[in-house]
């Protein structure tokens, strides 16, 4: 069953059209990757789905509800979380306070505690540093915090925008390992990546975005073997 | 060229450094308390500027005029209920509502517009309020008696007006309360989050519009309180009542680092103290404002982000 369906999505920045009628879906329980070069429209796709960009046409259906015109905070409240590009953690707040912000809509204190325990289990380092000001964390730790913060909302769909950006190869491995773990725990994932190789390795299905259009789609394992993809994105 | 001895004879140094004579020392303390008290009022107004700027990213130049609106409301309600405290409570609540309405009508439609358009609108709102006050209440100065002669307190040779102490104490309580609210309440933390990154805050499920509404309400509430303490000292109300304290508080907010709450408090207190000390030193008195705005220029030259303003750290 499709958890997220995007129909004929167009996004405009003034007179510039960033997305030109894209269609894709994310089935429940899948990891879906959206790959493409810089400027292909990946982040525009992510931001328009979650309502941060309102100048758009088309239809976005999430969990059987039409969310096209919904405000971001309403979309978040029905179970969609996004880890934005560049992490964007709250630098002046502590790690713990950042995590609390992630559970902003959760009124039940017991549930917040449970969610906290879960993310601390996934990222023991954050527990050690819970009283540290988030801006003083390393890049890798900030990415872990950004992911944890999104998980605090207990999303049905977790969207990750360039989680590997600016991280060392070792940390990239770690982050992707964690994404896999989150998926195994039952969360559906939509992943946007420039690092196509890593993304295709963990994804079930993938779409290739080029200058605002989806030019190719298929099972991730098949795209990994596709010659065009190899040449354009995998560097081999 | 003057000799060192002549230089030291200047009154300011008599006042500030040579307090071996008990009388002068007491005068120094008295002036300091007066300065802190006035500074507290400036700080309360500056908080409105700085919080609105931090969260809605707009300079609300009509903020000073809320003091004026508060002044007239106090005038009206003191007349009706004949009790200053009740009149203050009504005024504070009405001003908070007034702030919300102002935001909804004037600024919300401009969200996403160029900062210049918003700035011009704010100036327009300021003139609109002043003109409305003129139409409703006329240009004649109104007088409001909040308390019948509160009297003075004598501690040795130190003479302090009771109203000064009430102001100082109230400012401390209000600012401590605000600090605790921002630091420990969910809404307060959301305010910090929105001021740091609006988009990321929306992704947390925060309704940014309602946070902006709350911010305007708090800022206007503080302006109403400031209006009360301002009139306690100088009970004259006219349509441009808010202009000077508004400009002073704006200066305080920029000195402290616009967007920074402790900065607004520090900036306000600094200006209040400068104002009271220059009032004591006769040859500096005519230059009070020149000194205050001179300090603003100096600080902007040396530290453009203000005393406690944050420099954005970007980690990619």
Residue B258 lies in a domain: yes
CATH code: domain of residue A51: 3.40.50.300
Question: Mean pLDDT for chain A?
Answer: 93
Is A88 touching B (CB cutoff 8 A)?
yes
- Alpha carbon of A77: minimum distance to chain B alpha carbons (Å): 6
Please give chain B's pLDDT, 316 residues, in tens. Answer: 455 555 545 555 555 554 456 678 888 999 999 999 999 999 999 999 999 999 998 999 999 999 999 999 999 999 999 899 999 999 999 999 999 999 999 999 998 889 899 999 999 999 999 999 999 999 999 999 888 878 898 888 888 999 999 999 999 999 999 999 999 999 999 999 999 999 999 999 999 999 999 999 999 999 999 999 999 988 999 999 999 999 999 999 999 998 899 999 999 999 999 999 999 988 999 999 999 999 999 999 999 899 988 765 443 3
Cβ A90–B199 below 8 Å, yes or no?
no
**CA–CA gap between residue B307 and residue B197 (Å, rounded):** 22
Mean pLDDT value across residues A30-35: 95
Residue B312 lies in a domain: no
Q: pLDDT tens digit string along A40-79?
A: 999 999 999 999 998 899 999 999 999 999 999 999 999 9
State the pLDDT at residue A50: 95
Residue span of the structural domain in which A191 resides: 2-234
Q: Name the closest residue on chain B to residue A101, using Cα atoms.
A: B204
Contact predicate B44/B50, CB 8 Å: no
State the pLDDT at residue B3: 54
Number of domains in chain A: 1
What does B246-304 look like in DSSP terms, one character per residue? HHHHHHHHHHH-TT-HHHHHHHHHHHHHHHHHHHHSTTTGGGHHHHHHHHHHHHHHH-T
Residue B155 lies in a domain: yes
pLDDT over 70, % of chain A: 99
Q: pLDDT tens digit string along A64-118?
A: 999 999 999 999 999 999 999 999 999 989 999 999 999 999 999 999 999 999 9
Is A104 touching B (CB cutoff 8 A)?
yes
CATH code: domain of residue B64: 1.10.3470
Cβ B189–A76 below 8 Å, yes or no?
no
The DSSP 8-state label assigned to residue B110 in this structure reads: G
Residue B198 lies in a domain: yes
State the pLDDT at residue B275: 95
State the pLDDT at residue A47: 94
Q: Name the closest residue on chain B to residue A154, using Cα atoms.
A: B204
Q: In the predicted model, is pLDDT for residue A25 greater than 80?
A: yes
Residue B307 lies in a domain: no
Residue B316 lies in a domain: no
3 state SS for chain A: CEEEEEEEEEEEECCEEEEEEEEEEEECCCEEEEECCCCCCHHHHHHHHCCCCCCEEEEEEECCEECCCCCHHHHHHCCEEEECCCCCCCCCCEHHHHHHHHCCCCCCHHHHHHHHHHHHHHCHHHHHCCCCEHHHCCHHHHHHHHHHHHHCCCCCEEEEECCCCCCCHHHHHHHHHHHHHHHHCCCEEEEEECCHHHHHHHCCEEEEEECCEEEEEEEHHHHHHCHHHHHHHHCC
State the pLDDT at residue A231: 82
Residue span of the structural domain in which B172 resides: 27-302
State the pLDDT at residue B312: 52
Q: In the predicted model, is pLDDT for residue A229 greater than 60?
A: yes
Number of domains in chain B: 1
Nearest to A104 among B197, B206, B316 (CB): B206
Nearest to A86 among B310, B313, B316 (CB): B316
ipTM of the complex as predicted: 0.92
Q: Determine which of A91, A115, A134, A150 to mutate to test the interface with B (most B C-beta atoms within 10 Å).
A: A91
Q: pLDDT tens digit string along A148-204?
A: 999 999 999 999 999 999 899 999 999 999 999 999 999 999 999 988 989 999 999
Nearest to A84 among B199, B208, B316 (CB): B199
Q: Name the closest residue on chain A to residue B207, using Cα atoms.
A: A73
């Amino acid at each position: 069953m499709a958890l997220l369906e995007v129909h004929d999505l167009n996004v405009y920045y003034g007179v510039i059209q960033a997305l030109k009628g894209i269609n894709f879906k994310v089935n429940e329980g899948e990891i879906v990757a959206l790959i493409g070069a810089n400027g292909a429209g990946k982040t525009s796709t992510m931001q328009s789905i979650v309502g941060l960009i309102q100048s758009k046409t088309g239809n976005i259906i999430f969990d059987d509800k039409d969310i096209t015109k919904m405000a971001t905070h309403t979309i978040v409240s029905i179970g969609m979380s996004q880890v934005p590009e560049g992490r964007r953690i709250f630098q002046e707040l502590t790690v713990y306070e950042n995590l609390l912000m992630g559970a902003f809509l959760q009124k039940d204190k017991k549930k917040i505690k449970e969610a906290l325990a879960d993310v601390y289990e996934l990222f023991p380092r954050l527990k050690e540093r819970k009283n540290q000001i988030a801006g003083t964390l390393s890049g890798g730790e900030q990415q872990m915090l950004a992911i944890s913060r999104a998980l605090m909302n207990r999303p049905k769909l977790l969207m990750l925008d360039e989680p590997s950006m600016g991280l060392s190869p070792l940390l990239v491995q770690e982050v992707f390992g964690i994404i896999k773990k989150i998926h195994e725990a039952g969360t559906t994932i939509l992943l946007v990546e420039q690092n196509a190789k890593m993304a295709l390795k963990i994804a079930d299905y993938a779409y290739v975005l080029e200058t605002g259009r989806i030019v190719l789609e298929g099972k991730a394992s098949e795209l990994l073997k596709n010659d065009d993809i190899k040449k354009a994105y995998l560097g081999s | 060229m003057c000799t060192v001895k002549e230089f030291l004879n200047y009154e300011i140094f008599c006042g500030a450094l040579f307090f071996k004579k008990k009388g002068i020392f007491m005068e120094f303390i008295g002036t300091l308390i007066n300065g802190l008290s006035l500074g507290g009022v400036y700080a309360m107004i500056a908080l409105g500027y700085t919080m609105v700027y931090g969260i809605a990213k707009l300079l609300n130049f009509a903020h000073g005029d809320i003091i004026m609106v508060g002044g007239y409301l106090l005038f009206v309600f003191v007349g009706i209920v004949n009790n200053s405290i009740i009149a203050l409570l009504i005024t504070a609540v009405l001003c908070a509502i007034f702030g919300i309405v102002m935001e909804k009508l004037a600024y919300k439609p401009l969200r996403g517009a160029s900062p210049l358009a918003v700035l011009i609108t704010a100036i327009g709102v300021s003139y609109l309020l002043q003109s409305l006050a003129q139409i409703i209440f006329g240009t004649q100065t109104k007088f409001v008696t909040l308390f019948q002669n509160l009297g003075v307190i004598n501690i040795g040779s130190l003479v302090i007006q009771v109203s000064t102490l009430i102001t100082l104490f109230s400012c401390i309580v209000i600012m401590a309360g605000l600090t605790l609210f921002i630091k420990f309440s969910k809404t307060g933390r959301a305010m910090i989050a929105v001021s740091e990154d609006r988009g990321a805050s929306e992704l947390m499920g925060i309704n940014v519009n309602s946070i902006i509404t709350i911010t305007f309400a708090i800022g206007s509430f503080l302006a109403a309180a400031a209006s009360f303490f301002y009139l306690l000292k100088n009970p004259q109300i006219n349509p441009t009542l808010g202009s000077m304290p508004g400009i002073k508080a704006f200066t305080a907010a920029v000195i402290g680092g616009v967007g920074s709450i402790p900065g607004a408090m520090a900036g306000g207190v600094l200006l209040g103290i400068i104002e009271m000390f220059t009032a004591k030193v006769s040859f500096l008195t005519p230059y009070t404002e020149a000194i205050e705005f001179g300090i603003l220029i100096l600080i902007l030259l040396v530290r453009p982000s203000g005393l406690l303003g944050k420099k954005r750290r970007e980690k990619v």
